[in-house]
Structure formats: C-alpha cells, structure tokens
Amino acid sequence: MAPPRQSTSLETFVTNTFFFLVIQDDDEVFKITYNRNFDRGYEAIFNSDRLNFQTHLDFVQTLRKSVSDRRLVRFEAVVNETNENGVTCQVGFISEVGGNKDGKEVVYKSVGTLNVVFLEKHREGGGGHRQIDGERLVMRVEEKGEAESA
C-alpha cells in the first residue's frame, strides 16, 4: 500500500490522508504519510489542548497502538478552496472510527477543520506539495460494550 499521491483532488488528499493515518495498519505507510502530509510547524487545538507536529504524531501513534480492528464508520468532508488554482483550502470534516480498546468496542467521534497549504517546492525535490499546517478538533470516545471475539 502506497501513501497518497499529490496529483489528487483536495477531497481525495484529505480522505486518503485520514485513511493512511488512522485506518490502515502498516506503520511504515503511516510514518511516510505523516511526515509528507503534515507541516513541521503544524499546530492544533484538540479538545482545548494545544498540539504541535510531535505531540500530534504521538497522539495518533498512541491511538493506532491502543485501538485494534480500526474501521471507518463515517467520514464526510466539506472543502472550501481558498485560492483560484484549487490547491489550498479549509476543510470541515466529521468522522467516526470504530475499533476495540481494552476489550471494549469503542467509537471515536470527531468534528474538525483542517488548513491545507501548497508548498511550491517539495523538500524531496520535484513539484509542489500539499501539507496540513493546522487543525481544530473536538473528539469524543464512546464505549459500545464488550468487543466481539474473532
């Protein structure tokens, strides 16, 4: 499985980034996607806590390690292009991710916004590249009961 390519639409960029970070299980793909698609100056407000590039990375890695059988229950995004070329945008999204944590079925429900910017020159060479440089997120975790055994 390869990380998302940059010639994709904004909607696809956001959806693929979410999938490669949260749902799929390959840690190497996760690391490549995170390092490529998040700006080193990334800042977020997450349920009133401030996160930066590293603390957000730590949060997502902890979620990936502590929740098994992750699956996408719902993901909707609304993209508002902020320039005439359609390469930068504000994104509003709603997501629900289910999985098993500590023997219980859980659902992570999130509502948030992302700021996606376009870098003219990618640090790995070549053309421009989209990155997420900011996020505002409200998340709640709901326990649904005992996890089913496989």
- Angle at alpha carbon of residue 42, lines to 142 and 129, rounded to 5°: 110
Q: Is residue 82 within 8 Å of residue 89, measured between CB atoms? A: yes
Domain 10-146 has CATH 3.10.450.50: yes
Residue 125 pLDDT class (50, 70, 90 cuts): low
pLDDT score of 124? 58
3-class SS at 53? helix
Sorted by where each begins, the domain ranges of the chain are 10-146
pLDDT digits (tens, 9 = 90+) for 16-54: 999 999 999 999 999 999 999 999 999 999 999 999 999
* Assigned token pair, 29: 């793909």
Instruction: State phi, psi for 122 to the nearest 5 degrees.
Output: -75, 145
The beta-carbon contacts of 77-85 under 8 Å, at least 24 apart in sequence, are 77/11, 77/14, 77/15, 79/10, 79/11, 79/14, 81/10, 83/118, 85/118
pLDDT digits (tens, 9 = 90+) for 51-100: 999 999 999 999 999 999 999 999 999 988 777 666 678 999 999 999 99
In whole angstroms, how far apart are CA 138 and each of 44, 120, 145? 11, 31, 23
